[in-house]
Chain A
């Protein structure tokens, strides 16, 4: 399990466990709570993610924040989207249930790592629930984003156990993404290789939906 402490600036030049300097810098900056990426999403999320103890705790809290977002999205969708077709409703229900379980599991993981779990963020989904169509479109954004987030973060996870958990979750997010795309009549994939996004990129994409 990771017990990596805050990076002192002079350590930034070091390669830690074969990790790239860039990745290490990113983690150090996140832990210091001063990174440009997190600043864009506001104090709440920044605080939730950036913690002493760094490393896996930050990554899991990052994932947890996204899962909270998704869980809230589907929960609200099921309440607010009128005229949701039977199959879409069933799909949304499955997705909500899965995301709820992800929230629970990641919360437990952070605790197990000795960290403080990110709290549920305030959310704002704008016009996403105006119709089944806008719901599905936003859902696709979330699920594809989730896949890219996990794929981006996973190589930096130190604990093999946490990596396994992340892998089991990202596969499910990818399944969600394909199902939503299928429901929309879209291609189930965006290319033969799913993109990895950095934490900064993911949080920037998620920012519009977070009210902190």
Chain B
């Protein structure tokens, strides 16, 4: 799944490269979903600044705002909800029980989308644009590839939420994020079991993932 182009590698290292990458991926004009959540990755390190006017810069000091975190989470949920919908529509999964499980998980993700959209609006933020996804390769790989990808994405989602917990300022938004985080973890554990992996890949203490890591991991699934 992971294909590291040199552009991606550069992205991890260098802020000005990140901006160039954004122009490449986001295209000219309005900030796409990817651009918005990459914009949010100004957290602990450099001062992000706008990428040639395509998107707003992060708050002074580079700290990610709650709105940016919500939009980041929303982008991931859009991806997941869309993934399960495509999986069900494809008919690639033949086991009825697994189809049922995928439906339920997809419904959860859609509820997450709805909640996060509402939260972004409540915060007075522009709601992240739904990304155009690219799951063709995954679907073409059949049931095994699909379930494997589902497991990967759910584990990544859980790690993504965990990675942001400490950055969220509003306790109500933190509470909401945690209520979703643990559900993603449930999904992850169930899917891991389905694909023959351990329910606790990190052992007794789950590891957080940074926005950069998550961005890199989901990039293959985003067309625009």
Contact = CB atoms under 8 A, between A and B. Distances in A.
Interface residues of A, number: 45
Q: Is the interface of A mostly helix, strand, loop or mixed?
A: helix
Contact of A175 (B108, B166, B178, B185): B185
A99 to B, nearest CB: 8
Contacts, number: 143
Interface string A178-208: 1101100001110111111000000000000
Interface string A149-163: 011001110001001
B186 A196 contact: no
B206 A192 contact: no
A19 B87 CA distance: 43
Contacts of A175: 185-186, 188-189, 199-200, 206
Contact of A98 (B115, B182, B203): B203
Contact of B205 (A168, A195, A196): A168
A1 interface: no
A176 B185 CA distance: 9
Given A164-B165, A189-B108, A172 B204 contact: yes
A168 B104 contact: no
Contact of B182 (A105, A151, A156): A151
Interface in A7-66: 18-20
Interface of A: 18-20, 91, 94, 97-99, 101-102, 105, 147, 150-151, 154-156, 160, 163-165, 167-179, 181-182, 187-189, 191-196
Interface of B: 101, 104, 107-109, 111-112, 115, 158, 162, 165-166, 171-172, 174-176, 178-183, 185-190, 193, 198-200, 202-208
Given A91-B199, A188-B187, 7 more contacts: A105-B204, A151-B182, A155-B175, A155-B178, A175-B206, A182-B193, A194-B180
